[in-house]
Chain A
Amino acid sequence: MRAADRMLALIVLLLLSFVVCAQTPQATPPPPAPPRSVVFPKPVEQTLPNGLRVIVIERHESPLVSAQVVIKNGGEVDPPELAGLADMTASLLTKGTQTRDATQIAEQIEMLGGSLESGARWDSSFATVGVMSDKVSPAMEILADVVRRPTFKSEEVDRLRQQYLDNLTLALGDPGSIARFVASRVVFGDSEYGHPLSGTNESLTRIMPADIAKLHSRFYRPDNTILVIGGDISAKDAIALGTRYFGDWPKPSTPLPQLSAAMKEAAPSMGRIVIIDKPDAGQAAVYLARTGITRRDPDYFRGIVTNSVLSGYSGRLNQEIRIKRGLSYGAGSTLDTRRDVGPFVASAQTKNESGAQVADLLLGEISRLSSSPPAEPELVPRKAVLIGNFSRNLETANGLVGQVASLALHGLSLDEINRYIANVEAINSQDVQKFAGTRLDAKTSNIIIVGNAKAFLPELQKQHPNVEVIPITELDLNTRLLRKKQPQ
């Protein structure tokens, strides 16, 4: 169709649509009615004589129950040469106990229609079941068995090791996954949070069944454990089930390992710019990464509101990178708070050619938080986003259990659930500016780009002379240097 015809057709169509539209009664949105109040369920708890803390949170809308065992240590206790040990240990829980083999465990839990998952995170390990509420007792029996009496048979260790190696191979084909691995090493160096949680090719091959059994006996003990049960079950029944299946778990006479003294002081990198050159990458993953805060930091609520100004669909990062410029399918950030200082990460994936531009946009938006903090009209909606997400998260059994488990893990008051909204609402523009200026300085942030370097490196080097370029074939995730040693 010629241009003039197309124009004409467009005008006709616009007129037609106007005729249709004209019948819509009003041109401005009707205002909201008065809001309804929200009431969250209240957690109930009891500590058993062996030190195990049982927490119950009721929600009876759906006939579902979720139960989670939380061990208060995870990937941060991996010895440096055995990265992935805590995660392998937790994953192996469901691969055999003194009375059930891996097949029987899967068969029995799935017969109930349920699912049983386990793994490690930073600062915790978990095993969790979700089932219909009339099947909770047999499911809890299996849950207790796998946490208390796993056997770590060597054939299961070998099988899982191969699965981890295969998964790592898959992850190392994806620019986003590679960028996350590299960001952790850049921010945390060789300290506790620096290694990949699920290990490296080298560390995984070193992990022996004896290492796993040792980690299990050291950390999996009732006085280092929280059991959270949520959903369609009464507090009384839930505590009775906890007592029945975990009450006779003996508390060791040895004291709990003291970790804080052993924890190394992180020596965070500042202003490092690392490019992983992957010439066949279909897109570049661009990450800004730096240290953030601990979960118990008094600035926690300032931190999450600041992050919400940057992140989410209408957050500043997505506004600038996706909505205004069409440079990515999505840009966002996370403030990952942990027992020790966790990372702050802002990221986007973009075509290789725009890698440098997106890196500068990420840096620019972090700086702009302090030079141009959000005024009320910008801040109020970003707080509403946090409050809405939080409230919706409590609508499912899994979400409830996750929220409560996280508070309990960090030794925070469980009442925080009912104070969350007020805590978020109290944050003002100066709080955000101060937090951004003191805790998220762009100058001390690092940039990581994984992609086809040829497409973005010349432009990047114009602004940033000190760029490290590491070909993907030379990438080594075992140390902060990130580069394989050259053969002597």
Chain B
Amino acid sequence: MVCFTRLILVVFLLTTFSFSGFAQTRMPQLKFTDRSLENGLRVLSVADHSSPTVAVQVWYHVGSKDDPPNRSGFAHLFEHIMFKSTRNMKSEMMDRLTEDVGGFNNAFTVDDVTVYYEVVPSNYLETLIWAEADRLSGLNVDEANFKSEREVVKEEYRQSVLAPPYGKFEYLLQQKSFVAHPYKRPTIGSIEDLDAASLHDVQEFHSTYYRPDNATLVVVGDFDPKQLDAWVDKYFGGIAKPNLQLPRVTIKEPPRESESRFTEYGSNDLPAVGLTYLTPRESDPDSKALEVADAILSSGESSRLYHSLVYTQQLAAEVDVNSETREDVSLFVLFAILSEGKKTEDVEKSLLAEIKKLQDAPVSAAELEKAKNQIVTEQLQKLETSNGKALALGEAAVLLGDPARVNTDLERLQAVTAADVQRVMKKYLSDKNRMVLYYLPESAKKGGQ
């Protein structure tokens, strides 16, 4: 689950990025500069003068998997607090420096990272470098601000989990997919754990994780590289690197030994079925083939699942697949919201039948090419803006471990063969590696008793 601090304006999922050298299409390459300060801050930048704006992002390598014990949702609550008073900024001053001058800011928290971003007219770049350095160097939040913002996060919980008919389904799908790894705690957390959080937790979390050697600054847009380097040195260079060791999650999710099944109930009128499979970490070479399989199953109306379950059999109102990559261990998720009057068992059977087809026979060359074309076009659309470019670069550096992958993943995508797709489907989408969740209306519960 992705949790944003601000109003949700655009919802997007982080997926592995890829480029293509497909025949005639001119594929833009990001010519980035990569340097590190003595205190460990990594700085990635791309000068691009096509519009007089600049995107500034800070990626902190801390996410909801690092929530302290009995504080689920804390990393995300903390992200909200980063917009309150800092060493030299009053609450909401970040809005004065961005929104008030025609830019915008936002932030999001996922399982592995917390990302803060701004897009501003390029003449405000120095101001924003100062501001990001300021909130890295220290917070200064009072109790009233903390409590009020915690209420906002509780409303966010209600708005994303309780109010929408399938909010709880998504929440449960993640929760039931892991048994040991902290990924089992959805990013938004729980009301009880949010209520238990204190200002003390905030200061401790900041000093533990918000440090230059756990941060990556990404700047894309209209700037002079020499000037940028000087500003970064001036404002970030003086922030000391703490001597304490950075804590890292070491818990491993055990492989699944047999299928697990759950039935839960909610305020939905139409039942839903979800399947998840454990897949390897995002940086694993098999991630690309899984991404292609995801596209073959679910991208567009000619995709296998849409065509079979929604169009031909009319079993489902909606069907989707996400190869949800994570840093430690990933999930391949399939779900369907049933059409009126259909049976969950029939939908599950059809989903499994489509998986089996991909395991039994290789996809055709045309179907493989279609999936790659879809992935490339989607990627190009994400890279149209400077903020999109910065997100891709940050993800390559922080989650894939190599910023160059923003350009070289192209070759990885091209290299995926029909045999690869068949192989990963057999290897990971096995019966014993499956979790099945039925999400039924409350009325079904009464009927069953």
Contacts and interface: CB of A to CB of B under 8 A. Distances in A.
Contacts of A28: 88
Interface string A383-409: 011011101100111100000000000
Contact of A17 (B92, B97, B203, B299): B203
Interface-central residue, A29, A162, A176, by most chain B CB under 10 Å: A29
B294 to A, nearest CB: 14
Interface string B254-271: 000000000000011110
Contacts of A37: 52
B50 interface: yes
Contacts of B317: 163, 166-167, 169-170
A195 B87 CA distance: 52
B238 interface: yes
Interface stretch (B109-117, B157-165, B406-414): B157-165
Contact of A169 (B27, B102, B238, B340): B340
Given A35-B121, A106-B302, A130-B381, A111 B369 contact: yes
B127 A32 contact: yes
Interface string A156-173: 000100110111011011
B119 interface: yes
B245 interface: no
Interface in B265-285: 267-270
A239 to B, nearest CB: 22
Interface string A320-358: 001111111110100000000000000001110000000
A384 B204 contact: no
A38 B52 contact: yes
Contact of B133 (A24, A176, A350): A24
A426 interface: no
Q: Chain A binding site: helix, strand, loop or mixed by DSSP?
A: mixed
A314 interface: yes
A188 B295 CA distance: 42
A282 B130 contact: no
B225 interface: no
Given A110-B374, A115-B300, A388-B104, A64 B137 contact: no
Contacts of A13: 200, 203-204, 207
B240 interface: yes
A282 B267 contact: yes
Given A110-B300, A283-B159, A25 B235 contact: yes
A395 B51 contact: yes
A240 interface: no
B52 A64 contact: no
B222 A112 contact: no
Contact residue range for chain A? 35 or more
Nearest to A133: B25
A314 B307 contact: no
Contact of B137 (A14, A21, A313, A387): A21
A267 interface: no
Contacts of B354: none
Given A62-B383, A113-B377, A391-B102, A283 B162 contact: yes
A97 interface: no
A112 B373 contact: yes
B123 interface: yes
B207 A385 contact: no
Interface string A15-51: 0111011011111111111111110000000000000
Given A17-B207, A170-B270, A102 B311 contact: yes
Contacts of B200: 1, 6, 9-10, 13
B307 A166 contact: no
Interface stretch (B144-152, B175-183, B343-351): B144-152
Interface in B294-335: 299-303, 307, 310-311, 314, 317-318
Given A17-B138, A21-B87, A110-B374, 16 more contacts: A10-B199, A29-B97, A29-B130, A29-B131, A30-B126, A102-B301, A106-B301, A134-B24, A173-B165, A280-B442, A283-B155, A285-B163, A349-B159, A349-B163, A387-B102, A388-B104
Interface of A: 1, 6, 9-10, 13-14, 16-18, 20-21, 23-38, 61-64, 94, 102-103, 106-107, 109-115, 130-134, 159, 162-163, 165-167, 169-170, 172-176, 280-283, 285, 312-314, 318, 322-330, 332, 349-351, 380-381, 384-385, 387-389, 391-392, 395-398
16 contacts: A17-B139, A17-B206, A20-B137, A29-B131, A32-B101, A38-B52, A111-B366, A170-B337, A282-B162, A313-B6, A329-B7, A329-B159, A384-B100, A387-B102, A391-B53, A392-B53
Interface of B: 6-8, 23-28, 50-53, 87-89, 92, 95-97, 99-104, 119, 121-127, 130-131, 133-134, 137-140, 147-152, 154-156, 158-159, 161-167, 198-200, 203-204, 206-207, 222, 234-235, 238-240, 267-270, 299-303, 307, 310-311, 314, 317-318, 337, 339-340, 366, 369-370, 372-374, 376-377, 380-381, 383-385, 442
